[in-house]
């Protein structure tokens, strides 16, 4: 009897210590470990930096509120320096050494394409934060890659949005100005391939390289063509360069539409007034305060904005929104399947299977409805057309 009483006393003391220290017995559960490969530095740093910050913010938030069913959330973040080879090496380390349950990233189309076969070979879910439709869909078979998913709507969806806008404006002769990297090449291919479906004529088709610092020559040729609009498809500093060249050449009578990569207020600031009047499709996360209260994404977009901006002192962008959606989807899957499987392989497979049929997730990029035929889960409606006015974006109503 005395021994039982002593045991009860010790148990009571232990519970009181845990209660007053604010530590839950659930905190002793093993963490759920995810891997993240993004371009924190290099040419894609404007993408990877807000993605890293968003991930760190959400990990802190989840762990401060009890984790995932009592399991701490751990995200191992690697910087691929915007390099395809480094991205592949780091992803291999996450898979083989760190034994992560899933990987999200990379930031760029090229670095993402460098990982798709790894995901397939090692049977691990990969959620890309890049744009090209070829990341989640094998262009040879036109079928979805079994282990690969994607957060941003496809570049083809962006093209649909732009072409619908041009039809509304009564414009059908376009000029393309794209970089010759993976992102620009994929967007250019989509613009050309889809043009006939929307009655568009390619009046000019110009390209430039990653080291080019002036695109005046290409723009001058466009100026001499019959093009009534310019569609720019690039990312990073080149987005600002081509806009400055466009204005310096007195070409503002030809409207300029940038791809969704331009959807960052930092680009407006860097353009120093040159971006006035430039159009671009953006996601809800970029324009939370502009959305009507009835918009289905208003609540989640404002939640992100009000959490991120005070913490980091910079505006949110669609890039960070990619990381938000990836983590939220993975957390949702872990809440559902995390404790149902004991092996690493079985948990990875369960996460993949969960994502493939996930419906109705309201995120920063849209309302996601995945299926075996659609590992993106979005369409052209993920974008809202905006125009640069002053130092900000303004919604462009389309009837």
Q: What would the pLDDT profile of 253-276 be if each residue is shown by its tens digit?
A: 999 999 988 988 889 999 999 999
Residue 9 pLDDT level (bands cut at 50, 70, 90): very low
Q: What is the mean pLDDT of residues 186-209?
A: 95
Of the two residues 317 and 300, the one the predictor is more confident about is: 300
| Whether pLDDT at 214 is above 60 | yes
Q: For the chain, which domains are there?
A: 30-153+299-381 (3.40.50.2300), 156-282 (3.40.50.2300)
Q: pLDDT at position 8, please?
A: 42
106 cis-preceded (ω within 30 degrees of 0):
yes
Model confidence, pTM: 0.83
| Whether pLDDT at 3 is above 70 | no
| Whether pLDDT at 10 is above 50 | no
| Whether pLDDT at 378 is above 80 | yes
Q: pLDDT at position 13, please?
A: 43
| Whether pLDDT at 25 is above 60 | no
Mean pLDDT of the chain: 90
Pairing mode, if any, of strands 173-179 and 384-389? unpaired
| Whether pLDDT at 291 is above 90 | yes
SS3 label, residue 242: helix
Q: What is the mean pLDDT of residues 46-68?
A: 95
Q: pLDDT at position 299, please?
A: 96
Q: What is the mean pLDDT of residues 335-361?
A: 94
Pairing mode, if any, of strands 143-144 and 126-128? unpaired
Out of 56-65, 93-102, 278-287, pick the least confident.
278-287
| Token couple for 342 | 């004991």
Spell out a b/e string for 134-170, using b for 16 or more CB atoms within 10 Å of the CB, else e: bbbbeeeeeebbebbbbbbbbbbbbbbbbbebbeeee
Indicate the burial class of 2 (C-beta count within 10 angstroms; 0-12, 13-18, 19 or more).
exposed
Q: In percent, how much of the chain has pLDDT > 70? A: 93
Q: pLDDT at position 180, please?
A: 92
Of the two residues 10 and 70, the one the predictor is more confident about is: 70
| Whether pLDDT at 145 is above 90 | yes
Q: pLDDT tens across 303-332, in order?
A: 999 999 999 999 888 889 999 999 999 999
| Whether pLDDT at 4 is above 50 | no
Q: pLDDT at position 44, please?
A: 86
DSSP code per residue over 77-120:
EEE-TT-HHHHHHHHHHHHHTS--S-EE--SSHHHHHTTHHHHH
Q: pLDDT at position 43, please?
A: 87
| Whether pLDDT at 142 is above 60 | yes
Q: pLDDT at position 153, please?
A: 86
Q: pLDDT at position 399, please?
A: 54
């Amino acid at each position: 009897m005395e021994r039982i009483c002593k045991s009860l006393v010790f148990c009571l003391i232990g519970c009181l210590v845990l209660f007053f220290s604010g530590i839950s017995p659930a905190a002793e559960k093993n963490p759920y470990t995810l891997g993240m490969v993004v371009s924190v530095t290099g040419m894609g740093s404007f993408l990877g930096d807000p993605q890293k910050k968003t991930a760190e913010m959400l990990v802190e938030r989840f762990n401060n509120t009890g984790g995932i069913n009592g399991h701490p959330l751990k995200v191992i973040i690697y910087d691929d320096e915007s390099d395809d080879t480094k991205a592949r090496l780091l992803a291999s380390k996450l898979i083989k050494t760190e034994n992560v349950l899933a990987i999200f990233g990379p930031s760029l189309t090229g670095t993402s394409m460098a990982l798709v076969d790894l995901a397939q070979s090692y049977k691990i879910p990969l959620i890309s934060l890049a744009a090209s439709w070829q990341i989640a869909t094998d262009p040879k078979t036109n079928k979805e890659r079994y282990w690969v998913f994607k957060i941003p709507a496809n570049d083809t969806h962006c093209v649909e949005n732009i072409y619908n806008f041009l039809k509304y404006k009564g414009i059908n002769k376009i000029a393309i100005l794209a970089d010759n990297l993976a992102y620009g090449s994929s967007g250019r291919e989509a613009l050309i391939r889809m043009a006939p479906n929307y009655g568009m004529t390619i009046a000019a088709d110009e390209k430039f390289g990653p080291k080019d610092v002036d695109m005046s020559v290409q723009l001058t040729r466009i100026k001499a063509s019959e093009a009534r609009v310019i569609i720019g498809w690039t990312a990073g500093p080149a987005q600002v360069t081509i806009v400055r060249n466009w204005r310096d050449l007195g070409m503002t009578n030809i409207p300029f539409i940038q791809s969704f990569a331009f959807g960052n207020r930092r680009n407006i600031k860097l353009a120093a007034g040159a971006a006035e009047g430039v159009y671009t499709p953006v996601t809800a996360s970029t324009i939370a305060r502009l959305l009507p209260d009835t918009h289905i994404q208003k609540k989640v977009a404002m939640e992100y904005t009000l959490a991120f901006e005070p913490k980091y002192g910079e505006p949110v962008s669609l890039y960070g929104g990619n990381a938000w959606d990836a983590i939220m989807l993975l957390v949702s899957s872990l809440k559902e399947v995390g404790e149902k499987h004991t092996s690493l392989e079985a948990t990875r497979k369960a996460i993949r299977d969960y994502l493939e049929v996930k419906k109705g997730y309201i995120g920063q990029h849209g309302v996601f409805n995945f299926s075996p035929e659609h590992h993106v889960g979005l369409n052209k409606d993920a974008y809202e057309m905006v125009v640069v006015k002053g130092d900000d974006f303004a919604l462009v109503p389309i009837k």
